[in-house]
Amino acid sequence: MKLATFQVQTPVGPFDRFGIVLLAGGAAAVISQSRSGQGRVVDVNSACAAMLADRGHLTAEARARALAPPNLRSFVEIHETDQGLLQEILDWAVKHPDAKGTRGEQLFFELSDVTLRPPVTRVDIIRDFAAFEDHLQNTFGKMGIAIPEEWYEAPMAFKANPTMLYGHDDPVRWPAYTEKMDYELEIAAIIGREVQDIELDEAESAILGYTLLNDFSARDTQRGEMRNNTGPFKGKDFAWVLGPWIVTPDELGDPSNLAMQVVVNDEVWASSSPGAMKWSFPEMVAYTAQDERLNIGDVFGSGTVNQGCGFEIDRWIKEGDIVELEAEKIGVLRNKVLPRRGEKLAWQRQS
């Protein structure tokens, strides 16, 4: 199942809604339909109310607000990773393609008519790991350093800025303070229930699903920050892109086996099948949850896949480029890089 947050325009302004995405062509067509915006999305809240009204409930709207709120995170806070109600709503909606909501609302929207938002629009914490040894060997080797021994002992991550979220087709501005902006092709797991002190064999059950993550980076700024041993700061925190939607684990399978590509201005820059992860997503979850609560909507980035960034292949994006990350079974995450805003801001005292 594909779960999305989409925005619709109304006479009183735009509204974000929670929906289930339907693509017509099967697994082989996911990337092409995602790229072209073919397909439909079912409004979960409106369809739930219509379904309940069809079954004779006089308080269908109130029941739907309680059972199926129009916000993805709010829905998951109630149902966690259980897809039972979602499947029930979807089955009813597909059998009633011409139905309207209790107030005449539209239940189905064409993907081409809506704006896709980050699947989860409010995230408490982004944790970005480094799960792919091949990528680290290539990038660390270019910097003349070795992978630390500690990397082989436990999953390591840095925490990122969850207030700078972007979605599919959102433009991302080139930061004024960098000359070396880069993309990163990653997979991300989204936490679907609050957990703490969870064993490895239960950790996968805490994952709602998977999405694409583009960890845009300011490489020249990042390098200076890393020399201070404090982790990334301005080198990373200007843009975190998630989308186009969340794919549930039962539909996706093993995320390390996905065929993936980076496409810039319609040219394939890199192809990758991530391959073996030194640290699996369940291991990341179980390790992190030791004496620490994981919240619904938390993002666990895989780290860059092999050949998944410009630094690794020595190709660099520029202002105006259109960057597309793609993965089979998930789809395409696309963003245009806008020109920097102009002169740098005066942030430093004058001596």
For residue range 59-84, list pLDDT tens digits in order: 999 999 999 999 999 999 999 999 99
The C-alpha atoms of residue 45 and residue 35 are separated, in whole angstroms, by 26
Mean pLDDT (the chain, rounded): 94
Residue 225 has pLDDT above 80, yes or no: no
What stretch of H or E contains 102?
none
What stretch of H or E contains 215?
strand 207-215
Average pLDDT over residues 112-127: 97
Instruction: Name the pTM for this structure.
Output: 0.96
The C-alpha atoms of residue 151 and residue 102 are separated, in whole angstroms, by 55
Give the residues across from 321 on adjacent strands. Answer: none
What is the CA 196 to chain-centroid distance, rounded? Answer: 23
Render the burial of 162-194: b for 16+ CB within 10 Å, e for the rest: beebbbbbbebbbbeebebbbbbbbbbbbbbbe
Q: Helix crossing, 84-95 with 44-54: angle to 10°?
A: 70
pLDDT of residue 145: 80
CA dihedral 109, 169, 36, 30 (to 10 degrees): -90
The C-alpha atoms of residue 38 and residue 179 are separated, in whole angstroms, by 36
Amino acid at 57: H
Q: What is the pLDDT of residues 236-278, one digit of tens each?
A: 999 999 999 999 999 999 998 999 999 999 999 999 887 789 9
Cβ 41 vs Cβ 142: under 8 Å: no
Query: Which residue has tokens 């860059």?
Result: 304
Cβ 296 vs Cβ 76: under 8 Å: yes
Residue 234 has pLDDT above 80, yes or no: yes
Q: What is the pLDDT of residues 124-169, one digit of tens each?
A: 999 999 999 888 888 887 777 888 899 999 999 999 999 999 999 9
Query: Which residue has tokens 């995405």?
Result: 21
pLDDT of residue 227: 73
Amino acid at 119: P
- Domain residue ranges in the chain: 2-116, 126-338
Task: Please tell me the class of the 126-338 domain.
Answer: alpha beta
Residue 348 DSSP label: S
Cβ 35 vs Cβ 324: under 8 Å: yes
Query: Which residue has tokens 């259980």?
Result: 82
Cβ 147 vs Cβ 137: under 8 Å: yes
Q: What is the pLDDT of residues 299-311, one digit of tens each?
A: 999 999 999 999 9
